[in-house]
Chain A
Amino acid sequence: MIFFLQNLVNALQWGSFYALIALGYSMVYGILMLFNFAHGDIFMVGAYIGFGVATGLLALVSTGMITAPNWMILVLTILFSMILTSFVGMIVERVGYRPLRDAPRASAAITGLMIGIILETGNLILLGARRVSFPALIQTETYNLGGVYITNKKIMIVVVSLALMLALHQFVQRTKWGMAMRAMAYDYTVVPLMGVSINTIARLTFAIGSALAAAAGILFGVAYPVLDPYMGIVFGWKAFVAAILGGRGSVLGATLAGFLLGFIEIFVAMIFPSTLRDLIAYSIILLILVFRPHGFFGEPYSARLRL
């Protein structure tokens, strides 16, 4: 039982990352019918921007120019990085996707792959191949709850992720911008005729998705403090799986599927030999997709789509 609970806690943390990244994929796919394969690398860029911001703020604190406790630095790091990374997302959209909006889908999909490679190698040239160590902003405290070990980092990661997902849900459901995004997901050829600018909505979608990826990147840096330029590739693929599993453009679906993926990976390794983890985990996902080809909350393409 304790063993099960321990793995549950681990899975919650692991699933948070998948869910946060899957949301970005899912929104872009839902609204613009694009596979943004560069999203995993935007997660990487977000983590590196977070590294830069955190290092900068720590340097300012050490020179005495500002005084701030470490948790405040973390909050500021998350905020600044989300804003900066959302600009990266908007640039990617402007440079890579807008010119190709009417091009065949395959061209737009490979654009994502190319932008991903550009971001990876750009980082490699800029910072070199050395891995960087994300600064330890919170002192790890481990709590032993009857044999289940929980750290303050794990709690923080899960809480911040859930808060961001809830905020996104509220934004999409309650605001005018959110309504415009849902309308665009419904039909992106007709809605512009009603006076909603597709360029603005596309930019907004990329900005939000990238900001969430940046948050995921920083939380990842807090939990696994070794960053490298290729950290986003496999992670991005897996989050993409979660996005599709959740159903096209569904916020709730992407969140649930992200957590589910985390749970499956952790629990498969718990029950079976860990060598077989990915083999079994992704066979299960494949099986789910066979029975629910449109994901949990997706609808067949003939029916109308919603966000």
Chain B
Amino acid sequence: MRKGLFLVVVTLVVGFIFSPCTWGAPKTIKIGINAPITGDIPKVGEGTKYAAQMWLEDIKAAGGLDVGGTKYPVEIVIEDNEAKAESAVTTNLKMITEDEVLVIVGPQSSKQAVPAGDVAENYGTPMISPWSTNPDTTKDRPFVFRGCFLDPFQGPVLANFIKEEFGFTKAAVLYDVASDYPKGLAEYFKEAWEKINGKGSVVAFESFTTKDADFSSQLSKIIRSGAEVLFTPQYYNEVALIVQQAHELGWSNPIVGSDSWGSAETVELCGKNCYGLFFSTHYAAAGAKGKTQEFIERYEKKYGYVPDDVAALTWDSLGIVQAAIQSTGSLTGNIEKDRQSVRDAMAGVKEYEGITGKMTFTEEGDPIKCAVIVRISEKGEFEFYKSVCP
């Protein structure tokens, strides 16, 4: 009896292992989505998930992904990285080794994308982070790409914008020292600002650590320093607290942010305090045209709110992935070989016309594209203010 059971189990296991080879039909293409569904920035995860689901819908409607004349069914594996660096690494590992995904889209923020990119690189799996703006994500990693501009570009864009718009000479910076993205961007901004206004023109360079809720002592210092503008490259949850506390401590000068402000939730949490403030981002929903408008309308109809930049960038990244897979011409079914050929195809994409603008790619796998300065209007909408191109 025991022996019989054992035999059955062995047969089943062996059967499972070899089943994909024995069925002959085109093998499913699996695309991994490494997203922060829970944790600090769940709205980012939600936008990622929704954009991916919309993309999958299109593929399904077309009867699969057409590669060299064969229609492959596509499956999306969405895994939660809890907005933590460690979890993003294990999530990548699991998707590569267990789920055997062909390509990974994500993680979104640099805090997770920088360490997770290392795993993708080591396992030879192409990965594209739609939203990570830190240079380290793709640096010296042929298998890692991104869908957005970089912080060394965004820093000067903001410094120039503030100079041109307000003519200020003294700036203050408040950032989270424990997170790659704000820390990197704070430094790039400081460098660019001091290049324009001379050394010592960043009069306060204050930091805090993730999960802090009280910024009163840092803000008091910033106010005392005589800064004319505050730059804070934080995520939406902290933005709400920083802006409110700054106003309560008597700060009435402009506060400027970066693309991490561009979430649908910023205004919801921050309210009137944030009206009239500026930040740089990847696209502006209000006043969009063509393909971008089409995407926004479809997303809004389906999920009930205007998509934020993460959703738009995820959509574009999936578009790049799709273009790359299709341009391989054929898939062998051997996951390692296919990953290599998809990577080569992605590196070969020289120009892509996405909904967040036209992009060309550098050697490092980074796109060159325009940034948008957005103003939060008196109605709490993200208004297009001006476009800054490299």
A binds B: yes
Could you tell me which A residues sit within 8 Å of B by CB distance? 3, 6-7, 10-11, 13-14, 124, 128-131, 133, 136, 140, 142, 144, 149, 151, 153, 220, 223-226, 228, 230-231, 233-234, 265-267, 269-270, 273-275, 277-278
Which residue of A3, A130, A226, A267 is within 8 Å of B241 (Cβ)?
Answer: A226
Q: Which residues of A contact B268 (CB under 8 A)?
A: 133
Whether the pair B250, A10 counts as a contact (CB closer than 8 A) is: no
In the complex where A140-B248, A142-B248 touch, is A226 in contact with B216 (Cβ < 8 A)? no
Q: Give A230 to B248 CA distance when docked, in angstroms.
A: 25
Whether the pair A149, B42 counts as a contact (CB closer than 8 A) is: no
- In the complex, the chain B residue whose C-beta lies closest to that of A10 is B216
In the complex where A224-B214, A274-B218 touch, is A129 in contact with B39 (Cβ < 8 A)? yes
In the complex where A151-B248, A226-B241 touch, is A129 in contact with B220 (Cβ < 8 A)? no
Q: List 15 A-B contacts (CB under 8 A).
A: A10-B214, A13-B216, A133-B268, A149-B248, A224-B213, A225-B269, A226-B237, A226-B241, A231-B213, A266-B217, A267-B217, A269-B221, A270-B220, A275-B207, A277-B209
B1-55 residues with Cβ-Cβ distance < 8 A to A are 37-40, 42-43, 45
Which residue of B211, B221, B240, B271 is within 8 Å of A234 (Cβ)?
Answer: B211
Q: Give A226 to B265 CA distance when docked, in angstroms.
A: 11
Whether the pair A7, B217 counts as a contact (CB closer than 8 A) is: yes
Q: Is B286 an interface residue when CB atoms closer than 8 A count as contact?
A: no
- In the complex, the chain B residue whose C-beta lies closest to that of A234 is B211
Contacts A140-B248, A153-B248, A223-B214 supplied; 9 other A-B pairs, CB < 8 Å:
A13-B214, A128-B42, A129-B38, A129-B45, A130-B42, A234-B211, A266-B214, A270-B217, A274-B206
Report the minimum CB–CB distance from A186 to chain B (whole Å): 37
Whether the pair B250, A142 counts as a contact (CB closer than 8 A) is: yes
Most buried by A among B209, B216, B268: B216
- In the complex, the chain B residue whose C-beta lies closest to that of A131 is B237
Q: Give A11 to B45 CA distance when docked, in angstroms.
A: 35
Chain B, interface residues (CB within 8 Å), range: 20 to 34
Whether the pair A10, B217 counts as a contact (CB closer than 8 A) is: yes
Q: Is B249 an interface residue when CB atoms closer than 8 A count as contact?
A: yes
Report the minimum CB–CB distance from A136 to chain B (whole Å): 8
Q: Which residues of B contact A130 (CB under 8 A)?
A: 42-43, 265
Q: Is B385 an interface residue when CB atoms closer than 8 A count as contact?
A: no
Report the minimum CB–CB distance from A239 to chain B (whole Å): 13
Whether the pair A133, B269 counts as a contact (CB closer than 8 A) is: yes
Report the minimum CB–CB distance from A285 to chain B (whole Å): 17
Give 5 closest A-B pairs by Cβ, nearest first: A129-B42, A10-B216, A269-B217, A129-B38, A149-B250
Report the minimum CB–CB distance from A40 to chain B (whole Å): 12
In the complex where A225-B244, A275-B207 touch, is A266 in contact with B216 (Cβ < 8 A)? yes
Q: Which residues of B contact A269 (CB under 8 A)?
A: 217-218, 221
Q: Give A228 to B208 CA distance when docked, in angstroms.
A: 18
